[in-house]
Amino acid sequence: MHQALCVSEILLEISSHLTDHEVFHQFLSSSWTFKSPMRKSLTALASTCKTFHGPAMDSLWSNILGLEPLFSCVTRLHPILTYDPSNETNYSRSASWSRGVDPLTEHEIHQFSRHSTRARNIYMPTLTGIHFHLLTAFPVETCMFPQLLSLRWGEGMNTAPLHIFLSPTLRHLVTLDLHSDLKYIGTRCAALEVLTAYTYQDARSPVQLSEIVRSCKRLKHLDCHLLDSAGWMHLSTVPTLLTVQFTALYTIHGVLGWDKLDIAPFLNLTTLYFHGGDMEDILAIIHYSEFPSLKTFKMEINVLPWAQAEQLFCALSQCKASRTLEDIDITTYGRVQEDADNSWTAVRQLVCFTQLRRLNLYAHCPIYLDNDLFFEAMSNWPHIHTLFLLWQHPSPSTTLSLGQYPSPPTTLTFRGLSAALRQCPHLEDLSVYIDPQNVDFDPEGESFQHTCLKSLSLDSSAELSSDEEAVARIIFSMFPCVERVFTGDSYPWFWGEVNTCLESLRKGACLSAWPA
């Protein structure tokens, strides 16, 4: 054997290239196989000599799906868990194989722990919890996985045995049905950085989850259900916190209790995401908080009237986020009848976000802009590369139709589009309402071209009778990298003709450029 292979650092580097990272990600989506080439190579390496054994075994047991592989190392359980070559995706004969099997003895616990101490990433799929009675002989305070870095707990599984996985080294924990008796998670796992925790049984009471979150002092990323005001006050003081995703299954008015609230600045928070919840509570969170480093704000909510949208954008601009926000993404699902003119004042509140790079407003009614407002916005967003200002078209069965939303007196025209886009040379994706009836741009007399734009979605609010070829010539002249125009459900025949003309213009340009 070459002397270089006696250097532990070189062996660790070799074994790291054989670690089954891809397979680990595969079994997260339930497509695990125990006979992957990498695992075979690691097994062979471990049995070669004592020098190779340690590093190879560390890599072999770094990623574990369930506890069956570890149970198979126990002599008494090995015959029950003998691998069946005819079914590579099923390691055990039955999901209930451990029923009636006695718990591990002290000697068998040693056999189990011989490899459990090497585990770095564990995924506990649903129904594997029925085997935990085999580990009842373990002392209560014993951690069976002292080097564990990542744990994903299956949905619907009882989290009562979770304590045996809580290692001081744990960085990443995902549990989809967390019990409220685990307030000590942050204490047992002082290095915890990523926590995804849901409490479906107690979703209407955020206090228990808030106590768990408050025990975590070094969080970087949090994804959880509703928290009370004490939980939000704690998060505001965590200097390592970067992203927060807030998911509310129920709308509970006033649950956060904002009386005498004292929230510290979220100094380093870069991403804030609300999925559902009460709009009054969301507005209160933003109103009482400061986000001096916020770059991304996302929201998915059932209904967001333009009056509340204006309050939301105004609150964001006043919490220091106007200096840093680069990405605003708001999606509403419910549809309400509302005057489309109300969207103007709401959108105008966004003009102050001068660092904006992406804006997505998927609204409940049309978002109409005129030339002046669009020019003002684009002049203040010189870095923007994605702008989506369309709405959810109602299905044919709904009573709300496009005609029920009154059109404003003026709308965005091609001339207004060309003037505004001169201010934002980095724009790549644009989706807006436009008035194609007003063909006010001469592609032959004006030389403006936006060569960065690659994706264009246009829609209109009025009956269309324009010359499709004239519209296509304008688009072909202004946006040479746009191959076709995407559109919503309104007037697909018109935009279909525009795209047909665009294709003909591109073919003609190619033929004329071809050398004779």
User: Can you tell me the mean pLDDT for 304-332?
Assistant: 91
Give 434-487 pLDDT, tens digit per residue: 888 778 888 777 778 999 999 999 887 666 666 888 899 999 999 999 999 988
pLDDT of residue 287: 85
Q: Is residue 121 part of a domain?
A: no
Higher pLDDT residue, 98 or 488?
98
Secondary structure of 316-367 in HEC code, one letter for each residue: HHHCCHHHCCCEEEEEECCCCCCCCCHHHHHHHHHHHCCCCCEEEEEECCCC
- 145 assigned to some structural domain: no
What is the rounded distance in angstroms from the CA atom of residue 40 to the CA atom of residue 46? 10
Compare 391 and 400 and report the one with higher pLDDT.
391
Question: Residue 65: beta bridge partners?
Answer: 123
The reported pLDDT for the residue numbered 294 is 96
pLDDT value, residue 50:
64
Residue 401 pLDDT more than 50? no
- pTM, whole model, 2 decimals? 0.82
Q: For residue 514, what pLDDT is reported?
A: 58
CATH of the domain at 438: 3.80.10
DSSP one-letter string for 136-159: TTS-TT--S-TT--EEEEPTT---
Token pair belonging to 196:
């995804």
Residue 269 maps to a domain? no
The verdict on residue 504 lying in a domain is yes
Enclosing domain of residue 422: 329-395+407-516
Number of structural domains found in the chain = 1
- Contact, 174 vs 152, CB < 8 A? yes
Nearest partner of 274 among 327, 331, 326, judged by Cα: 331
Rounded Cα distance between 449 and 435, Å, is 20
To the nearest 10°, report the CA torsion of 390, 396, 400, 406.
60
In a domain, residue 473? The reply is yes
Considering the chain, what is the average pLDDT of its residues? 79
Q: With a cut of 50, say whether residue 30 has pLDDT above it.
A: no
Beta-strand runs (E) in 82-134: 121-124
Mean pLDDT within 130-158: 81
Neighbouring CB atoms inside 10 A of 439's CB total 17
Q: Give a yes or no: residue 116 inside a domain.
A: no
Higher per-residue pLDDT: 160 or 398: 160
pLDDT exceeds 60 at position 404? no
Cα→Cα distances 147→115, 166, 219, 489, Å:
11, 10, 19, 54
Least confident of 18-32, 166-180, 369-383: 18-32
